[in-house]
């Protein structure tokens, strides 16, 4: 009886571990992909390679890519430290603020 209980316990633990891994595994490469895409996006706009986006860089990029119009229009509000540049952290915070909340806005 004890052998059967032990075997059943091991089987359940294995199934839970596999199920958990199967749910989490696909997200990790996708997260790395998104981060790589964001890095490439930032570098494409950051023409002088200084790690921050000037108003001129954003304006020039928005002429070539109409999807960047929102970034250009919101430049001053994205630039939260008011140094005249958008850094990666400011852009990340802006993107996060633009995402719809998963729980419908209630906490």
Q: pTM for this structure?
A: 0.62
Question: What does the pLDDT profile of the chain (107 residues) look like in tens digits?
Answer: 655 555 556 656 555 454 444 444 455 566 656 667 888 889 999 999 999 999 999 999 998 888 789 899 999 999 999 999 999 999 999 989 988 866 655 54
Report pLDDT for 21: 46
DSSP the chain: -HHHHHHHHHHHHHHHHHHHHHHHTTHHHHHHHHHHHHHHHHHHH-TT-SSEEEHHHHHHHHHH-GGGHHHHHTHHHH-TT-SSEEEHHHHHHHHHHHSPPTTTT--
């Amino acid at each position: 009886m004890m052998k059967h209980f032990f075997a059943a316990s091991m089987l359940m633990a294995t199934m839970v571990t596999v199920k958990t891994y199967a749910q989490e595994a696909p997200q990790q490469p996708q997260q790395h992909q998104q981060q790589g895409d964001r890095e490439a996006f930032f570098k494409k706009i950051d023409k002088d390679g200084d790690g921050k986006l000037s108003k001129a860089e954003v304006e020039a990029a928005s002429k070539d890519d109409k999807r960047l119009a929102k970034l250009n229009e919101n430049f001053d509000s994205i630039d939260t430290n008011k140094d005249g540049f958008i850094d990666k952290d400011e852009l990340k915070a802006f993107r996060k603020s633009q995402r719809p909340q998963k729980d419908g806005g209630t906490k």
